[in-house]
Structure 1
Amino acid sequence: MRSGFGIGRKRLLGALFALGFVCGISYCIIRDLFISDRGGEVEAIVTTSLSEKPLKGCEEKEYIRYADVMSTAMKVIVHSKSRELAAKVTEAAIRRVAEIEKKMSRFAPDSELYRLNQSAYKEPFVASEELFTVIERSLEFCRVSDGALDITVVPLIDVYKKAALRGTPPMEGEIKDALKRIGWQKVLLDKERRSVKFAVEGMALDLGATAKGYAVDCALEVIKSLGIKHALVEIGGEVSVCGAQADGKEWPIGIVDPRTSHRYLRRLGIKDGAIATSGNYRRYYKIGERQFSHIVNPRTGETSDSAVSVSVIAGDCFSADALATAVSVLGPEQGLALIKKFAGVQALILWKDESGEKTFETDGFAEYAR
Structure 2
Amino acid sequence: MKNVVVLLLILSGFNTTSQVLRKRTVKLMGSRFDITIVAADSLSAERHIDLVIAEVTRIENLISDWKADSQISLVNKNAGIAPVRVDPEVLALTERALHFSKITDGAFDISFAAMDRIWKFDGSMTKMPSSETIKKSVEKVGYQNIVLDRGNSTIFLKRKGMKIGFGALGEGYATDRCRDMMLAKGIKAGIVNGSGDMSTWGKQPGGRDWAVGITNPLHKDTVFAVVPLRQSAVVTSGSYEKFVVFNGKRYSHIINPSTGYPATGVSSVTVFGPSAETANGFSTSLMVLGKETGLKLIKKYPQYTYIMITDEGQVFSSSSLDMKKYSLLGREK
Same fold (TM over 0.5): yes
Match of 1:266 among 220, 225, 230: 225
Structure 1 313/163 Cα, relative in aligned 2: closer, same or farther at 3 Å? closer
Deviation, structure 1 residue 254 = 0.9
Match of 1:357 among 296, 309, 313: 313
Query: Which residue does the alignment assign to 2:9?
Result: 24
Structure 1 175/155 Cα, relative in aligned 2: closer, same or farther at 3 Å? farther
Letter in 2 for 1:137: R
Give unpaired runs (5+ residues) of structure 2: 327-333
Q: 1:60-75 counterparts in 2 under 5 A?
A: 60-75=19-34
For the pair 1:306 / 2:262, whether they are aligned, the reply is no
TM-score of the superposition, structure 1-length normalised? 0.80
Letter in 2 for 1:237: G
Letter in 2 for 1:246: P
Q: 1:1-370 counterparts in 2 under 5 A?
A: 2=1, 21-25=6-10, 56-160=15-119, 169-281=128-240, 292-352=251-311, 356-366=312-322, 369-370=325-326
* 8 Å contact kept, 1:213–1:317: yes
* 8 Å contact kept, 2:5–2:236: no
Query: Which residue does the alignment assign to 1:48?
Result: none
Deviation, structure 1 residue 174 = 2.3
Structure 1 115/221 Cα, relative in aligned 2: closer, same or farther at 3 Å? same
* 8 Å contact kept, 2:121–2:244: no
Deviation, structure 1 residue 122 = 0.7
* 8 Å contact kept, 1:54–1:62: no
Structure 1 219/283 Cα, relative in aligned 2: closer, same or farther at 3 Å? farther
Letter in 2 for 1:23: L
* 8 Å contact kept, 1:209–1:325: no
Q: How much identity, in percent, do the aligned residues show? A: 25
Q: CA RMSD in A?
A: 2.8
Q: Which has the higher contact order (CA 8 A, sep 6+)?
A: 2
Structure 1 residues 1-24: Cα deviation after superposition (integer angstroms, max 9, x where no partner)? x28xxxxxxxxxxxxxx9784222
Separation in structure 1 between the aligned mates of residue 174 and residue 325 of structure 2, nearest angstrom? 26
Structure 1 residues 235-274: Cα deviation after superposition (integer angstroms, max 9, x where no partner)? 1111111122233321111111122243212100011110
Structure 1 65/285 Cα, relative in aligned 2: closer, same or farther at 3 Å? farther
